[in-house]
Amino acid sequence: MRNPHETESNGSYVQLEHHPWFLLPVQEPSSLLDQHEVVTDAPFADERTLSFPIAAAPVQRPSVQSGRRMSTLALSLAVLAAVFSAATAVAEYNVVDYGARPGGGADSAGAFLAAWAAACNHTGRRGSRPVMRVPAGRFLLSKAYFKGPCRSAAGVVVAIDGTVFAPPAVDSTAWIMFHYADGLAIRGGTLDGQGRAHWACRADPGRKCPPGTTTLDISQSKGVSIKKVTLLDSKNVHMSIYDSTGVTVQGVRIVAPADSPNTDGIHVQLSRHVNILGTTIGTGDDCVSMGPGTSDVLIRNIKCGPGHGISIGSLGGEAGEEGVRNVTVEAAVLTGTQNGLRIKTWGKPNRGSVTGVVFSRVTMRGVHNPIVVDQNYCPGYDQCPGKSSGVRISDVSYTDIEGTSATPVAVKFDCSGSNPCTGFRLSNIRLTYEDKTAQSLCRNADGSASGVVSPRSCL
């Protein structure tokens, strides 16, 4: 009997083809060929019918011994096909087989962890990855900590066909965490953070609320891909990428109301080589935020709104923070957001840096602060003595930025007095406010402008 966890894969993974030559029927000729073979539909302009003489030759019936050899060959091919199919089968571990029950009545955390442990301990075959599958249906998950490293060198695929949802309160800062999960691939499904009760608690100043919970936390992992996943109503940040390398987020949808507090779409920190592609994000905070120690980030073809825009920062809140470098945002559309493209640092003397940032081909639709650098961030105004940021910002370019601003000042560079912004470049900027020319404002900023720049550059 085949191992119940060995299944032929389909969908996004390995599709086996059933080749017809595995079992070829042996047919005996019934008569001699005709003296002439007629070829029609020939590829010639006049579509003439051509005939070619073919020498007739007697065809001998196969002997009994020959027939046995053919039968043996056919059997051998069938055995080879079976062996090939088994060798390329993918090990699959379904959470239902470990006790999970759809419907949401019982916590499935134990079953999810058991299925992960089985998949993570599977050695895998060269080039294949074991699959942990969550089938169609709704599954309640109190919380889950999926820990590696796994035995499969290629990693584990988490394939979600249904919806996984959180309880009203989670006694952890992360609801679903993958730690040391090199090669992890998360595919499909919905992760519902059920954050509305938490937001209501936060809105009442007289209530003591549990800490906000990140829906999906990727931590200290390499070669991770997250594709076609929907994240809903997180209690806090929807997705966190922390201290990881080589992470791709593609075709993901993140949704929460505009008034949901601290529900950033994707937060990246202390991570390298991160790609966020073809993703739609609408939340109550930053669509994408990048914290200290982030480098080599590509954000392409994303739709943002509602929310607070795409942000680098805030930085400089603590001493000894690593800088941010080599960030590219291109082909983005921001609609109705509080900010557009923002770099934000605390008004504190803590040192840091932002360098090598490219913003290009971005469309603004009714964005309140389309282009903004704020180095005087200091909520409460009681934690920033002197209000001069120690973070140095340099080599930042804005190219082909167009659309509409919801405020008169469409471009604002409010840089540090002790560490002025340098190497800023504006090219082909077309931003308007109520069908009129918008304004720009610069303080402690140096750079250049080229092409059409409206509002007029203040650099």
| Active site residue ranges | 285, 308
Ramachandran sector of residue 262 (left: φ over 0; alpha: ψ -120 to 50; beta: rest): left
342 has which bridge partners? 311, 372
Number of C-beta neighbours around residue 27 at 10 A: 6
**Does the CA dihedral 211-226-137-257 come out positive or negative?**
positive
One-letter amino acid identity for 99? G
Q: 221-250 in b/e burial notation, b at 16+ Cβ within 10 A?
A: bbbbbbbebbbbbbbbbbbbbbebbbbbbb
Rounded Cα distance between 111 and 97, Å, is 8
Contact indicator for 454, 427 with CB cutoff of 8 Å: no
The two structure tokens encoding residue 418: 């002790």
Q: 88-124 in b/e burial notation, b at 16+ Cβ within 10 A?
A: ebbbbbbbbbbebebebeebbbebbbbbbbbbbebeb
